[in-house]
Amino acid sequence: MELLKKMCEIHAPSGEEVTMKEFILEYIENNKNNWKVKPKLHYGKGFQDNLIMVFGKPTTAIFAHLDSIGFTVKYNNEIVKIGGPVTDDGIVLVGEDSIGKIEGKVINKGDKIYIDYPRTIDRGTSLVFKMNFRENKDYIQSCYLDNRLGVFNALQLCRTLENGIVVFSTWEEHGGGSVGYLGKFIYEKYGVYQALISDITWVTEGVKHGEGCVISLRDSAIPRKSYVDKIINIAEKSEVLFQLEVESSGGSDGNSLQKSDYPWDWCFIGAPENNVHSPDEKVHKKDIQSMLLLYKVLMEKL
Amino acid sequence: MELLKKMCEIHAPSGEEVTMKEFILEYIENNKNNWKVKPKLHYGKGFQDNLIMVFGKPTTAIFAHLDSIGFTVKYNNEIVKIGGPVTDDGIVLVGEDSIGKIEGKVINKGDKIYIDYPRTIDRGTSLVFKMNFRENKDYIQSCYLDNRLGVFNALQLCRTLENGIVVFSTWEEHGGGSVGYLGKFIYEKYGVYQALISDITWVTEGVKHGEGCVISLRDSAIPRKSYVDKIINIAEKSEVLFQLEVESSGGSDGNSLQKSDYPWDWCFIGAPENNVHSPDEKVHKKDIQSMLLLYKVLMEKL
Amino acid sequence: MELLKKMCEIHAPSGEEVTMKEFILEYIENNKNNWKVKPKLHYGKGFQDNLIMVFGKPTTAIFAHLDSIGFTVKYNNEIVKIGGPVTDDGIVLVGEDSIGKIEGKVINKGDKIYIDYPRTIDRGTSLVFKMNFRENKDYIQSCYLDNRLGVFNALQLCRTLENGIVVFSTWEEHGGGSVGYLGKFIYEKYGVYQALISDITWVTEGVKHGEGCVISLRDSAIPRKSYVDKIINIAEKSEVLFQLEVESSGGSDGNSLQKSDYPWDWCFIGAPENNVHSPDEKVHKKDIQSMLLLYKVLMEKL
């Protein structure tokens, strides 16, 4: 869990994913010799801050978004949201501007939100939740499990992955914008059009902590049923614990694939958390484990 | 009208259009020998559950969406919408899960909607309106005239179509997602960038039953005026009855073409209905007739 | 300012940009001999009413939208919005239908908006604000400074531009739809993926008249920070007056580039106005001047 903890602390809100990209490039460099298959990497010019790894002869691509929610400093320490963070008074935010490091608490005044800080912070400075990583026998708790855990899952998978594509995407929390061209590249270069979305979902009335990784049947978008049925069929034949989710709201990189000019099939598969989009996101270890197991099976059989 | 009636009963909400696709493939197989021109078909791998027919040397493509609105079963027989169906208490829904066929009534409780059914239905099961097809001298009434009537119109047209493309698209009722790549394929392979949207619109203050097929000047999206003017010009010179519509809301596959990365001109042309998105959609036979006549003229002259 | 004044009066709401395109083609024809570099033009078939000019060896493209906000006549002189115009009672609108020229005032009745006019106007007729162009020592005031001023800025720049692309786009005020394929064309043909959005923004708490052209750090969309930082760095080294903006709402052609299937970096750079989307949009001349200077520097250094 050291890897996950490290990643939860990296400052990389939507638009500033470069730090996460560099962390992952270094991780790959340091670890790929222990991987069953060495991947081909695509990144840099034409890829913005995204990163694609191609293993063997792929038929399916995993999308895990690098970015987190956060805030942008506006005028006079007013802050505006990046994505949809919780904004309760007292939440501690951190960042850095031209003067130095910043740490201060959220204050709500009327319908505006501020950071309580003794000087005026540079316009456009981004702020993220201060990390407080907690672990016990059953649970992991921290900000940004969404989606550093989805990234962690994909990286763990790399150790044994023989055939498949791993995509680290950007801007997922704030309107998207990378998955269209990443999907285009993959579809055109590798002929792959099956996607799994490695991301974190919600504990709800129908989805419980500790009952396994979630296969989402729909959220605000509806994936093609025949593809999702194929996945469920494989999952049922495996012995991996999983839960089925049905939501009418929420979305993921799957929505962006759906709306792109390429015929992607996609399915969201990830562990559930509560305290969503807060500094206290909490995930059951069993669900992290079943997520990895499920991805292993699916990447072999799909 | 037997063909229309049959199609209104097919279970094919957004994401499950495969049943409609198969029905149409069989219809084509059984009828194409009576068509003036035999079309080239594109479907299968890379097309999800969409279907494209190409006749002769095309300059214009007709888009008719295969999918219908409906519901997805969530937890404990709560249901969530596919597209924007009417949800009045007592509406009868049908579907099928792993246990068997389902038929039950809509019940609203607070801000949630349920299906009244004696056992818990499988998560993710899709439900559609139970069909009650009615026909008299002047009107057709049924669920899903939107858009089985648009599909019917396109299939009737095939009998005499010499040059043109007919596209059966998916997900129109729930956020789209197929028209982008269908448009891409057509634009790149056939150089066609003129579209007619064969779909059903609304009876309103300005659009009446029996006064002819509607040419829509705009809805939530605004088509290029010079293209719509060309269409109106052709319509005026024909003797076909038609009405002009102006709306500020609503949308169609036209919106998806507009937002795609290809320079499509598009125009919505279809019969109007009342009781929109309910089991009681009602269309005047005269408007169905003028829709077919108008498409015939346009596909020749455009 | 004669050129700007002329353009502010051209009737070209979203979907009817053809008039602006023709005006600009004529302007280019009449002026290009005085330009340092003669551009290659792309327009016509496959470009709808957009226009692209390519100068030298480009690395950056300027996007300026041609269309304006306005209204469409619905039934019985009710009008619906094109984009987001102000709709105060008494605002004078102009247009033309099959009977002749129209001029009338906005009247609000309940939640509907009408034009007060003695006869029924043709359905689908578009109306725009009647121009009242005002100029004093410091300010320009008129309808449609957004975005005829952005277009003006781009045309002024053409006189000295050596390397770069100028794009005149359509539908920006009403949902977009051209920038995706324009971006595609430019990316594929010229390998360019850096964009500057030449458009008009808002005077706010943090952005003042006369304090220079605005570089927007974000609005509803968030551009890639490393690209915006590069721009600010160049701007700081120049002696051009500029201001930094942070907003949580609003958008531009930048959003469309962001959501397209191509990896565009983009940044909104433009003068601020007050009385936004009204007949009384007002911009400080100093900000117009600094906008042009800033674009000159950026097109050289970026």
pLDDT over 90 (residue B1) = no
A263 vs A255: CA distance, rounded Å:
12
pLDDT over 90 (residue A1) = no
Torsion of CA B109, B110, B112, B113, to 10 degrees: 30
Judge residue A190's burial from the number of C-beta atoms within 10 Å of its C-beta, 0-12 exposed, 13-18 middle, 19 or more buried.
Answer: middle
* Percent with pLDDT over 70 in chain C: 100
Q: C261 pLDDT band (50/70/90 cuts)?
A: very high
**What confidence score (pLDDT) does residue A46 get?**
96
Q: How far is B290 from chain A (nearest CA, A)?
A: 33
pLDDT over 90 (residue A179) = yes
Reading the block at residue B18, the tokens are 């495969």
Chain centre to alpha carbon of residue B158: 16
B297 vs B288: CA distance, rounded Å:
15
* Cβ distance of A222 and B82 shorter than 8 Å: yes
**What confidence score (pLDDT) does residue A152 get?**
98
**What confidence score (pLDDT) does residue C189 get?**
98
B264 vs C278: CA distance, rounded Å:
31
C-chain residues within 8 Å CB-CB of A260? 261
> pLDDT by residue (tens digit) across A18-28?
999 999 999 99
- In this complex, the residue of B206, B225, B260 whose CB is nearest that of residue C180 is B260
Closest alpha carbon to B164 in B4, B290, B40: B40
CB atoms within 10 A of CB A222: 25
Q: How far is C109 from chain B (nearest CA, A)?
A: 16
- In this complex, the residue of A220, A224, A246 whose CB is nearest that of residue B123 is A246
Residue C23 β-bridge partners: none
Does the beta carbon of A247 lie under 8 angstroms from any beta carbon of chain B? yes
ipTM summary value = 0.96
**Mutant choice from B179, B184, B261, B266 vs C, greatest count of C C-beta within 10 A:** B261
* Cβ distance of C222 and A178 shorter than 8 Å: no
Say how many CB pairs under 8 Å bridge A and B: 79
Does the beta carbon of A188 lie under 8 angstroms from any beta carbon of chain B? no
Closest alpha carbon to C266 in C169, C143, C160, C156: C169
Regarding beta strands A101-109 and A70-73, do their DSSP bridges make them parallel or antiparallel, or are they unpaired? Answer: unpaired
pLDDT over 90 (residue C36) = yes
B-chain residues within 8 Å CB-CB of A247? 74, 80
B227 vs B10: CA distance, rounded Å:
35
> pLDDT by residue (tens digit) across B103-139?
999 999 999 999 999 999 999 999 999 999 999 999 9
B129-133: long-range contacts (C-beta < 8 A, 24 or more apart)? B129/B70, B129/B85, B129/B91, B129/B92, B129/B93, B129/B94, B129/B278, B129/B279, B130/B92, B130/B93, B130/B94, B130/B103, B130/B279, B131/B8, B131/B9, B131/B279, B132/B279, B132/B280, B133/B5, B133/B8, B133/B9
Going by the DSSP 8-state scheme, the letter that residue A76 receives in this structure is: T
Does the beta carbon of A126 lie under 8 angstroms from any beta carbon of chain C? yes
* Cβ distance of B224 and C48 shorter than 8 Å: yes
Regarding beta strands A60-65 and A92-96, do their DSSP bridges make them parallel or antiparallel, or are they unpaired? Answer: unpaired
Does the beta carbon of B117 lie under 8 angstroms from any beta carbon of chain A? no
> pLDDT by residue (tens digit) across A124-172?
999 999 999 999 999 999 999 999 999 999 999 999 999 999 999 999 9
The answer to whether the beta carbons of residues C241 and C212 sit under 8 Å apart is yes
pTM over 0.95: yes
A79 vs A120: CA distance, rounded Å:
12
Does the beta carbon of B110 lie under 8 angstroms from any beta carbon of chain A? no
Mean pLDDT, all residues of chain A = 98
Reading the block at residue A289, the tokens are 């484990």
B197 vs B64: CA distance, rounded Å:
6
> pLDDT by residue (tens digit) across C51-100?
999 999 999 999 999 999 999 999 999 999 999 999 999 999 999 999 99
pLDDT over 90 (residue C160) = yes
Does the beta carbon of C186 lie under 8 angstroms from any beta carbon of chain B? no
Does the beta carbon of B253 lie under 8 angstroms from any beta carbon of chain C? no
- In this complex, the residue of B206, B222, B259 whose CB is nearest that of residue C75 is B206
**What confidence score (pLDDT) does residue A119 get?**
98
- What's the average model confidence in pLDDT over B65-77? 98
Reading the block at residue A94, the tokens are 């951190």
CA distances for C174 relative to C82, C85, C183, C254, C287, angstroms: 6, 11, 18, 14, 26
A199 vs A195: CA distance, rounded Å:
12
Q: How far is C126 from chain A (nearest CA, A)?
A: 31
Q: Which residues are within 8 A (CB) of A188 and not within 5 positions of it... i.e. 6 or more apart?
A: none
C-chain residues within 8 Å CB-CB of B221? 174-175, 177
Instruction: Find, in chain C, the residue whose alpha carbon is nearest to that of B207.
Output: C75
> pLDDT by residue (tens digit) across C108-154?
999 999 999 999 999 999 999 999 999 999 999 999 999 999 999 99
Does the beta carbon of B208 lie under 8 angstroms from any beta carbon of chain C? no
H or E element at residue C36: none
Q: How is B90-107 classified by DSSP, letter by letter? A: T-EEEEE-SS-EEEEEEE
Reading the block at residue B278, the tokens are 């309910």
> pLDDT by residue (tens digit) across A52-104?
999 999 999 999 999 999 999 999 999 999 999 999 999 999 999 999 999 99
pLDDT over 90 (residue B209) = yes
- What's the average model confidence in pLDDT over A37-42? 98
Closest alpha carbon to A225 in B70, B107, B100, B200: B70
Beta strands in chain A (DSSP E): 40-43, 51-55, 60-65, 70-73, 78-82, 92-96, 101-109, 112-116, 126-129, 134-135, 139-142, 164-169, 194-198, 201-202, 213-218, 242-246, 265-270, 272-274, 281-284
* Cβ distance of C18 and B258 shorter than 8 Å: no
> pLDDT by residue (tens digit) across B268-301?
999 999 999 999 999 999 999 999 999 999 999 9
**What confidence score (pLDDT) does residue A299 get?**
98
